[in-house]
């Protein structure tokens, strides 16, 4: 199936739509967004991403995403670090 890149430019896609088009898992599409390889926006009050067709075309062509301040970079997750347990060593006599 050939993609019509011109027709994609005026469209908006969800992560699931992109996964189907690119034949990837939705988590892989989210990873592309998180790694700044595919630009997406969060609509206010939404937990999902919207990916514009222009950005899809740039990704398919292998071009770098444009950083015009429109894309929402997700905040990196902080790793939960458990405090180290104190290990008490006893000398055996």
Q: Which band of pLDDT confidence, cut at 50, 70 and 90, is reported for residue 4?
A: confident
User: Phi and psi for 39 in degrees, rounded to 5?
Assistant: -85, 140
What's the rounded Cα separation, in Å, for the pair 54 and 11?
Answer: 8
**CA neighbor of 73 nearest in space, from 45, 44, 37, 46:** 37
What's the rounded Cα separation, in Å, for the pair 5 and 8?
Answer: 5
**Architecture (CATH level 2) of domain 5-60:** Orthogonal Bundle (1.10)
Look at the block and give the residue holding tokens 């902080």. Answer: 78
The DSSP bridge partners found for residue 41 are 50
- Over residues 11-70, the pLDDT tens digits come to 899 999 999 988 999 999 999 998 888 999 888 888 889 999 889 888 888 888 776 665
pLDDT of residue 31: 92
Provide the residue ranges of all domains of the chain, joining segments of one domain with +. Answer: 5-60
Q: How big is the CA angle at 61 (ends 60 and 67), to the nearest 5 degrees?
A: 90
What's the rounded Cα separation, in Å, for the pair 36 and 57?
Answer: 15
Output the pTM of the full model: 0.65
Is the pLDDT at 7 greater than 80? The verdict is: no
């Amino acid at each position: 199936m050939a993609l019509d890149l011109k027709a994609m430019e005026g469209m908006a896609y969800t992560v699931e739509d992109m996964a189907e088009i690119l034949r990837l898992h939705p988590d892989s599409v989210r990873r592309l967004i998180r790694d700044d390889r595919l630009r997406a926006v969060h609509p206010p009050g939404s937990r999902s991403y919207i990916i514009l067709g222009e950005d899809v075309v740039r990704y398919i062509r292998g071009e770098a995403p444009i950083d015009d301040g429109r894309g929402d970079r997700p905040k990196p997750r902080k790793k939960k670090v458990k405090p180290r347990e104190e290990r008490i060593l006893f000398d055996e006599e």
